[in-house]
Amino acid sequence: MRKIIHVDCDCFYAAIEMRDDPQLAGKPLAVGGAADRRGVVATCNYEARAWGIRSAMPMGQALKLCPDLKVVKPRMDAYKAVSREIHGIFREFTEIIEPLSLDEAYLDVTDSAHFAGSATRIAKEIRRRVSQELHITVSAGVAPNKFLAKIASDWRKPDGLFVITPDQVDEFVAVLPVSKLHGVGKVTADKLGRLGISTCADLREWNKLALVREFGSFGERLWSLARGIDERALQTDSRRQSVSVENTYDEDIPNLAMCLKRLPELLEQLETRMARLDSSYKPDKPFVKIKFHDFSQTTLEQAGARRDLHSYQQLLSAAFARGNKPVRLLGVGVRLLDMRGRHEQLELFAP
């Protein structure tokens, strides 16, 4: 039986800002872009959340909800430095770490010799060390797998610890809303609801074949999660999977023709970033990303397509057709193949 810890910092960016400037503590605070530059909330403290402010909200809307909201610009160098220190603490207990972002990670402590192998005591010590040395708080979840550990870390936020032992898994998962399952978004949750499935106990009444018929290959995943089964290993290799550039515009782009005019500049920036990659990466599928004026967004990629202007024009046109409304953000990118250990097949004829 594995022992997995999920560690999640509490309002990370805001916590560092309050730590470094104590005058911000106890006041509604948001970290993000300026409202007059169409900025959005990167994160906010719990005082701001009490006003209904949340991450990814337009800053202008946040200020309408809370006129006294204090807004500070992100200091990514400071956040990265703290993240490195937190990971240094992690590595004192295990080398099997899967970082999800600057402020969130999985740890596999199954074979850790610390605290006689107690994952709960390791999690307590990590929380204590981060609080004592870095003066911010983290929440942690302990469970036999990644799926449950992530749910557990959110159970007693902020500054909390929740443990799901192996013999508690069945009972805990049975009453869990299906919306909490890994990979279940709004569309899938709505479909499950129409089928009369609101909890994992409801989901367990469906056999695997029936779920596959309704949800395709994801149906088998649903069958496993409803029983608390998640065999995913931690992904400890933080190699790039893509490279991209994107731009949020001060004014909405009104139509497709104007969007297409923005492509050459974005592709030039993309090529600059591609040139920085080492030879162990190979460009694969090109993709485009669009965020419309109402904050709905779509991403479209195509296998086998070239990375030239014409190919990106076709992708952008198809992606724009999904919304057909003014655009606030455009992005272009390339999925990457990791060529380490691979033997690339040479083409018979040069292109």
Residue 344 lies in a domain: no
Average pLDDT, the chain: 92
Q: Are residues 193 and 306 in the same domain?
A: no
DSSP label of 233: P
Shared-domain flag, residues 247 and 334: yes
| Pair (217, 327) in one structural domain | no
The enclosing domain of 86 has a CATH number of 3.30.70.270
67: domain CATH number? 3.40.1170.60
The 10 Å Cβ neighbour count of residue 160 is 18
Pair 258, 317 in one domain: yes
Domain boundary among 150, 165, 180: 165
CATH code, 204: 1.10.150.20
pLDDT one-digit tens code per residue, 286-314:
999 999 988 888 999 988 888 899 999 99
Any idea what the Cα angle at residue 288 is, between residues 286 and 291, rounded to 5°?
165
Q: Please check if 103 is assigned to a binding site.
A: yes
Residues 178-222 pLDDT 10s: 999 988 988 899 999 999 999 999 999 999 999 999 998 889 999
Judge whether 220 counts as a catalytic residue. Answer: no
Residue 189 structure tokens: 């949750």
Strands across the sheet containing 297-301: 242-253, 327-338, 281-292, 297-301
Helices (H), the chain: 12-20, 46-49, 59-65, 76-90, 119-134, 146-153, 169-174, 186-194, 200-203, 208-215, 218-225, 256-274, 309-321
Structurally, the chain folds into a number of domains equal to 4
Task: Measure the CA dihedral 50/54/60/65, to 10°.
Answer: -20
DSSP 309-320: HHHHHHHHHHHH
Q: What is the pLDDT of residue 341?
A: 54
Residue for token digits 């509490």?
10
State the average pLDDT over residues 84-94: 95
Q: What is the pLDDT of residues 243-271, one digit of tens each?
A: 999 988 888 999 999 999 999 999 999 99
pTM of the model: 0.75
Q: What is the rounded CA–CA span in Å between residue 157 and residue 177?
A: 18
> Which residue among 25, 40, 74 closes a domain?
74
Q: How far is CA 343 from CA 44, 48, 228, 241, 278, in A?
A: 47, 53, 39, 19, 16
Q: Are residues 258 and 137 in the same domain?
A: no
Q: Over 70: is that where the pLDDT of 238 sits? A: no
Asked if 8 and 142 sit in the same domain, the reply is yes
Same domain, 140 and 193: no
Q: Which of 85, 92, 98, 104 is catalytic?
A: 104
Count of beta carbons in the 10 Å neighbourhood of residue 348: 5
Q: Is the pLDDT of residue 62 over 80?
A: yes
Q: Domain limits at 109?
A: 4-12+77-165
Question: Is 143 found in the same domain as 8?
Answer: yes
pLDDT at 347 over 70: no
What are the tokens at 317?
């046109």
